[in-house]
Structure 1
């Protein structure tokens, strides 16, 4: 991968709330040259200024705000922080992924966001958890069915940890989804719900096999929760993935 390893800033949400600029500085010192934002509406101009000063690019952003705020304002903020990838990370009832009608409604929603985003030069993606993996339709996960229903420009950010928790063989899933997968959330842990995550490479997830199955996808580190010092965990994740993939 030529693109720099990224990190989802939700991993450090408490630290960012207390000291955004200091947290971004520590990430840069660890070696992260790219980040994925989780709330582009939070002072986008100030965020961009700090990121630029630190030499940090923005790979993408989650855009939960699309459910509650004017889409145009959200897309303006996405552009301001410096990315053209806006990802829906939730906000859709879990039950919608248990029926074909629900999946069609979900696709229609994402396609509607994508149509609005296109005029701003922005692409819409969808990020899974386990509830899009567990339901099966003729042997296919709900996420796979959704991938066939969304518009060609709508992409997937596959959370590889939650895909495994949902029962998928993740390398095989990524192979079936193919080019629809633009980004991966790379995380590790015990492989069960409601347990803290650990540094990438320190848990039960077969990270090398997963990354090999989607060699062109963006790599984005994330820990939803962490029982140890989170900066130590994200530093260990960076070191592991840098060594694994021969990154600089």
Structure 2
């Protein structure tokens, strides 16, 4: 088993928005910490692919995966960089029926990615452990997909009321990776998550989809809004669990 680290760890939401350290600076820090594998974010691919290859060679790192909606453009770039997986880092769905929709969509994405040698995975937060028709939404997703892998975020899973070792044993052949971080309490999955269709209609399905086209001022405004949420009573309750 290899222990890798994501560029998300160097700035969090700011990293998603392309704010903060450059990708090369992150690579240098990651290498200095003793890691050899890195998981990218979509904004990291705004850099020229040949530059990324050069920086990987300079720092002795390898790309293992990316947190991104699995489009063919993303899959091609990750394959060119030698990566093995594209992980969808969460999308709204509120019940079993919508979980099945997402499962089928992930299978279609996996079929598209197969010729490139890329696996497709799904990364959870707490809301995927909301119960509907006797199972969690994440169970409905995995039970109705034949090609999608899980990248279980153990911290969010435990926060949502799941005991990660039991979940891993149950779906032992379905993991492309796990995310490890410490959370300090179990809060449960919260209220029923938003419907994927409502989110799409409102244009909120992927708030980071067009980061490349956003001016820096707009990116900073999104970050300021997120930080304000984190400092609100609701945000503190949501994020104070992260050690």
What's the TM-score once normalised by structure 1's chain length? 0.68
Contact 1:144 1:177 in 2 (8 A): no
Q: Is 1:86 paired with 2:86?
A: yes
Residue 72 of structure 2 is aligned to residue 27 of structure 1? no
User: What is the CA distance between 1:60 and its match in structure 2?
Assistant: 1.3
2:117 aligned partner? 121
Residue 61 in structure 1 maps to residue 59 in structure 2: no
- For structure 2, which runs of at least 5 residues remain unmatched after alignment? 188-237
Alignment match, 2:242? 197
Map 1:53-202 to 2 at 5 A: 53-64=58-69, 66=70, 71-90=71-90, 92-93=91-92, 96=93, 98-138=94-134, 140-151=135-146, 153-191=147-185, 193-195=238-240, 197-198=242-243
Offset, 1:50: 0.5
> SS of the residue aligned with 1:61?
strand
CA contact (8 A) 2:154 2:179 kept: yes
Computed over aligned residues only, the root mean square deviation of the Cα atoms, in angstroms, reads: 2.0
Mapped to 2, the partners of 1:81 and 1:42 lie a distance apart of: 14
**Post-superposition offset of 1:37:** 0.8
Asked if the contact 1:157–1:181 (Cα under 8 Å) also holds between the matched residues in 2, the reply is: yes
Compared CA separation, residues 137 and 176, structure 1 to 2 (3 A): farther
| C-alpha contact 1:133 1:163 (8 A) present in aligned 2 | yes
CA gap of 1:196–1:51, structure 2 versus 1, over 3 A, is farther
Deviates more, 1:15-24 or 1:163-172: 15-24
Count of residue correspondences: 185
The alpha-carbon distance between structure 1 residues 117 and 106, as it changes in their structure 2 partners (threshold 3 A), is same
Instruction: Check conservation: 1:10, 1:38, Cα contact below 8 A.
Output: yes
Q: What is the rounded CA distance, in whole Å, between the counterparts of 2:117 and 2:184 in structure 1? A: 39
Q: Give the drift of 1:196.
A: 6.5
> Within 2, Cα distance between the matches of 1:51 and 1:101?
42
Given that 1:45 and 1:80 are in contact with CA atoms closer than 8 Å, whether structure 2 keeps it comes out as no
Per-residue CA deviations over 1:148-177 (Å, capped at 9, x if unaligned) read: 1112x3211000001011111221111112
Aligned to 1:220: none
Aligned partner of 2:40 among 37, 45, 52: 37
- 1:27 to 1:41, Cα distance in 2 relative to 1, 3 A: closer
Moved over 3 A (4+): 13-17
SS at the partner of 1:32? coil
Unmatched runs of 5 consecutive residues or more in structure 1: 199-248
Is the contact made by 2:95 and 2:132 (CA closer than 8 Å) also made in structure 1? Answer: no
